[in-house]
Structure 1
Amino acid sequence: MDTLLSILTTTGIIIGVILLFNLMIFIHELGHFWAARWRGLHVDRFQIWFGKPWWKKEVNGVQWGIGWIPAGGFVSLPQLAPMESIEGKADLPEGLKPVKPLDKLIVAAAGPVFSFLLAVVFAVAVWIIGKPVAESVGTTIGYVQAGSPAEKAGLKPGDTILEIDGAPVTKWVGNMEGVTELVMMGERDTVDFLVQRPGVEKPLLIKSGYELPDKKWYERKAMRMVGIVKADPCVIGSVLPDSPAAKAGLKPGDKVKAVNGAPIMSVAAVREASKSGVPLEWTIERDGKEMSVQVTPVLPSNWKKGARDAQPIAGTLWASSFDRTQLEHPTPWQQVGVSLKWMGDTFQKIAAPKSDVGVEQLSGPVGIGSHLYRMFSSPDGWMMVLWFAVILNVNLAVLNILPLPVVDGGHVVLSLLEMIFKRPVGGVVLEYVQTGFVFVLMAFFLFVTFKDFGDLFGGGSKPSEELPPPVFRSADA
């Protein structure tokens, strides 16, 4: 029964992702379609996805269809510009009148406008319903990885980060302004931290190096890391049966204050101490009182020794602050503004010569679909999907209005040139340019899709190699 429920849940999520993608495509193309009908242009086809249609039906002189390449859609408008390299040859009726450049401009811009309006619709829904946000406020370091660039630079648990590379920070993650994002997207040779250290009157400027974890050639290049983890109260959420923690008498709600006398400010520090598998003295707080218990971490009975990430653990599940969420209600314009800022920051980092952010960090339909799948799979994930849909549609609107061949912005530019010079751009030259750019777009699409699959299946993270949920036997602890 559980297996059947899991299959149905997974199937439902996949269908939800596909429907959301196609809704975005449909609304965008519907803008072109309605504008074309309003301005009197001949509409040959309306198709979701590219390639030869596997389903088609003619209604009122328009062929409606679904292609076999899941990478967008189109409304075939032969009077707008030659697009046979993408849309195929159109069946043109005789006696088509020339189209005014203003009509072309309106039709070309209608798709991005409709995408933007759909983003606003989703944004209004988020404004009313709310967006779950993890409690990531606070910039105090809770753990510094041994041997990491941060440790070598002198960063310590308890340091509160005030600025990174001159930019003030008030949260650990979020809106491209948190500690995590500013480290990842840095452009300097070092990551410059301004920190307030307990017992030290003036803030300290600490220049840290960074590292780029190794990746397989088919995966995306890793982003900058320095080896720090946010300070977080180590509160036990649950205790696994027959685990060392259960044998030690630990209970949900217990707060770990120290291990072997060393203050603990992050779950990562507890996990690191547990790796050795030797007896540990935990100082915990329960009902306002401190007490000490001895815990000897062991390898769960269903984990194979030597497997990736398999190490002794105490058998506690933690009530991390990142698991505790609150609902925010950002206005539609705040959401659109954040989406535009993210796009601008991303393009700026891609163009920056010293940034480690490159074109390969961009995602195609597979990567975006995978991200949506993870959102749908989480508690209240549908609310996060609504918020993410705002970002996706703003991106779709902006990218399509860029003044590039093939996309809508290119048609807008052609219409403006026709208005200025009183004649359309030469058809043969234009078709060569359009066809060339089609190959560029397809190459980019294949590249990011290849990286998407590399992230899904690469790096030794195949499902068959993942550790199962830990199970303990009475003899283990």
Structure 2
Amino acid sequence: MAIITPILVIFLVVVIFNIIIFVHELGHFLAARWRGLEVERFQIWFGKPIWKKTYNGVQYGLGWIPFGGFVALPQMVTMEAIEGDNMIDKPLPPAKPLDKIIVAFAGPLFSFLLAFATAFIVWGVGKPDTRLTQTTIGYVEKDSAAEKAGLKPGDEIVSIGSNKIDSWAGNMDTGVVESIATSEGDKIQIVVNRPGVAEPVTLNSGYKIEDTSWYKRAAMRKIGISYKEQVIVGRVLENSPAAEAGLQEDDLILTFKGQPALSRMQLIKAAEAGEPTPITVKRGSEELSMTLVPRKPMAPNDDKTAFGVGFKFDESLVSDQIVHPGPWRQIVDSALVMKKTIQLVTSSESSIGVDQLAGPVGIGKGYFDMLTSSSNGWKLALGFTVLFNINLAILNMLPFPVLDGGHITLSLLEIIAGRPVKARVLEVIQTGFVFLIFGLFLYITSKDVGAFVPGGKKEPQEMKFEPSQ
């Protein structure tokens, strides 16, 4: 049963992908039929068909390359290198520019309509509010960009750059993590409310980007801060310093070296530094004092020190609300996300590059994670489908050859010039762009796959401790 569930989820993800592609291509197909254009093939995925059937003069098929789909329309631009040789030998009258514009626009329109229909469902059933609602700093790493900028534990972050902050993570425009990662320029302006200070404090921070292996995506910008939380003990390893000190699961750590315990990072960093750490914990109704003395675990981690304690997530920091955003609000928010993504990828001031985009593998993994995350995972997947379809519609409207926006642009130029671009020249240009897009697709997919491959730094393994002598 443990294997069957992932297989069913993967099958569901494939079905979702196919529905999204089918609806987009259906728009082109129906518009071509309406405008009287000849339709040769309607195929989901590229490449030679692994399944095909001809009905009413149209070949329907499923290709072997699991990417995209097409409707073969010989009166528009032929794409023999990708779609295969033309099946119709008879001469066909050229399509009118207006007809080509309508057919090209119909695909993005149907993607938009699918997004809108899905948004109505999300409006009705709702979706989880996944934001990490804390906005107060609990830990500032020593010698980090944040410390150099003057940020302190207890600071409540009000804004980062132009973004008003309402959460630590979970929203591209209002989350601390996302706002730092997507910031532009050499300095990040951060406004905080500081205890004991009447006016907001404005600070300018640098950032750090950790090194990653060549086959992985570049890391995002970080400044070295963590959120304020209740530090709750989780698993305590046998024979570890934490076990020998008397720590137990569900203990609430109140103080750390005489200071309030605001983040698990205080203990983690103390362990890495090999520092004896006096703490106070609350267990039930009583408070206990103890000292954690770091000790090297057995190999393979004998080059580090640790207390041998895990931590539980502070559930109070996550909103458990089900929100019901209106359909148009979802559409607008999705379009704004796409706009910002394009802006960041094309900006020389941003650290976000093409390798941060997700291809089918990355998107599929996202769907898989959502559908297996919780009882409301399917609601998350519905909300993401709205974003996915809006992104698909906008991307296809970009004025590049091969894309629907390119067809529209060429048809408008044909109206202005009074004649079309030569078919052979246009096919060469379009084929070149197809291979360019496939190259980009393979590059992004390599980063998707790279996310599954351990590498670079040594992977952490289970710590084991010998009993102290």
TM-score (norm 1): 0.88
Is 1:231 matched with 2:228? Answer: yes
1:323 CA displacement: 5.5
Q: Which residue of the partner structure matches residue 132 of structure 2?
A: 136
2:338 to 343, 349, 357: 343
* Shift in CA distance, 471/389, structure 1 to aligned 2, threshold 3 Å: farther
State the one-letter code of the partner of 1:53: P
1:362 CA displacement: 1.5
* Shift in CA distance, 306/253, structure 1 to aligned 2, threshold 3 Å: closer
Which whole-Å deviations, capped at 9, do the CAs of 1:96-144 have from their partners, x for residues lacking one? Answer: 3433332222211111111111111222222222222235223211111
Which whole-Å deviations, capped at 9, do the CAs of 1:376-424 have from their partners, x for residues lacking one? Answer: 2311322221111111111101111111111111112233333444433
Tell me, in whole angstroms, the C-alpha distance in 2 between the residues paired with 1:389 and 1:299.
Answer: 48
1:297 CA displacement: 6.9
Where do residues 281-320 of structure 1 align in structure 2 (5 Å cutoff)?
Answer: 281-285=278-282, 290-293=287-290, 304-306=300-302, 311-320=306-315
* Shift in CA distance, 338/171, structure 1 to aligned 2, threshold 3 Å: same
Q: Which residue of the partner structure matches residue 192 of structure 1?
A: 189
Which whole-Å deviations, capped at 9, do the CAs of 1:260-291 have from their partners, x for residues lacking one? Answer: 31211122223333446776443234567644
**Partner secondary structure for residue 457 of structure 1:** coil
* Shift in CA distance, 383/241, structure 1 to aligned 2, threshold 3 Å: farther
* Shift in CA distance, 315/209, structure 1 to aligned 2, threshold 3 Å: closer
**Partner secondary structure for residue 112 of structure 2:** helix
State the one-letter code of the partner of 2:434: V
Root mean square deviation, CA, Å: 3.0
Q: Which residue of the partner structure matches residue 89 of structure 1?
A: 85
Where do residues 199-214 of structure 1 align in structure 2 (5 Å cutoff)?
Answer: 199-214=196-211
The answer (yes or no) to whether the contact 1:85–1:438 under 8 Å persists in 2 is no
Unaligned runs of 5+ in 1: none
1:410 to 401, 406, 412: 406
2:323 to 319, 322, 328: 328
State the one-letter code of the partner of 2:73: L
Aligned residues: 467
Tell me, in whole angstroms, the C-alpha distance in 1 between the residues paired with 2:7 and 2:132.
Answer: 32
Q: Which residue of the partner structure matches residue 359 of structure 1?
A: 354
1:171 CA displacement: 2.0
* Shift in CA distance, 405/135, structure 1 to aligned 2, threshold 3 Å: closer
2:268 to 271, 285, 301: 271
Q: Which residue of the partner structure matches residue 447 of structure 2?
A: 451
State the one-letter code of the partner of 1:438: V
* Shift in CA distance, 20/327, structure 1 to aligned 2, threshold 3 Å: same
The answer (yes or no) to whether the contact 2:294–2:305 under 8 Å persists in 1 is no
Tell me, in whole angstroms, the C-alpha distance in 1 between the residues paired with 2:190 and 2:300.
Answer: 40
1:257 to 249, 254, 257: 254
* Shift in CA distance, 246/120, structure 1 to aligned 2, threshold 3 Å: farther
* Shift in CA distance, 237/312, structure 1 to aligned 2, threshold 3 Å: closer
Tell me, in whole angstroms, the C-alpha distance in 2 between the residues paired with 1:332 and 1:242.
Answer: 55
Q: Which moved more, 1:313-322 or 1:234-243?
A: 234-243
The answer (yes or no) to whether the contact 2:53–2:61 under 8 Å persists in 1 is yes
Tell me, in whole angstroms, the C-alpha distance in 1 between the residues paired with 2:311 and 2:417.
Answer: 73
Q: Which residue of the partner structure matches residue 381 of structure 2?
A: 385
Tell me, in whole angstroms, the C-alpha distance in 1 between the residues paired with 2:140 and 2:403.
Answer: 47
The answer (yes or no) to whether the contact 1:134–1:321 under 8 Å persists in 2 is no
The answer (yes or no) to whether the contact 2:255–2:280 under 8 Å persists in 1 is yes
Tell me, in whole angstroms, the C-alpha distance in 2 between the residues paired with 1:459 and 1:345.
Answer: 31
**Partner secondary structure for residue 343 of structure 2:** helix
**Partner secondary structure for residue 437 of structure 1:** helix
Unaligned runs of 5+ in 2: none
1:216 to 213, 218, 236: 213
Where do residues 18-97 of structure 1 align in structure 2 (5 Å cutoff)?
Answer: 18-92=14-88, 94=90, 96-97=92-93
Tell me, in whole angstroms, the C-alpha distance in 1 between the residues paired with 2:6 and 2:81.
Answer: 37
Which whole-Å deviations, capped at 9, do the CAs of 1:318-337 have from their partners, x for residues lacking one? Answer: 33445663222111111111
Q: Which residue of the partner structure matches residue 104 of structure 1?
A: 100
Tell me, in whole angstroms, the C-alpha distance in 1 between the residues paired with 2:147 and 2:200.
Answer: 18
Q: Which residue of the partner structure matches residue 115 of structure 1?
A: 111
Which whole-Å deviations, capped at 9, do the CAs of 1:22-72 have from their partners, x for residues lacking one? Answer: 111111111111222222221111111111112212122211111111111
* Shift in CA distance, 197/224, structure 1 to aligned 2, threshold 3 Å: same
The answer (yes or no) to whether the contact 1:135–1:325 under 8 Å persists in 2 is no
Tell me, in whole angstroms, the C-alpha distance in 1 between the residues paired with 2:329 and 2:268.
Answer: 39
**Partner secondary structure for residue 355 of structure 1:** coil
* Shift in CA distance, 310/18, structure 1 to aligned 2, threshold 3 Å: farther
**Partner secondary structure for residue 401 of structure 2:** coil
Tell me, in whole angstroms, the C-alpha distance in 2 between the residues paired with 1:323 and 1:472.
Answer: 34
1:220 CA displacement: 1.9
Identity across matched positions, percent: 48
1:373 CA displacement: 2.3
1:239 CA displacement: 6.8
State the one-letter code of the partner of 2:97: P
1:166 CA displacement: 4.6
State the one-letter code of the partner of 1:375: M
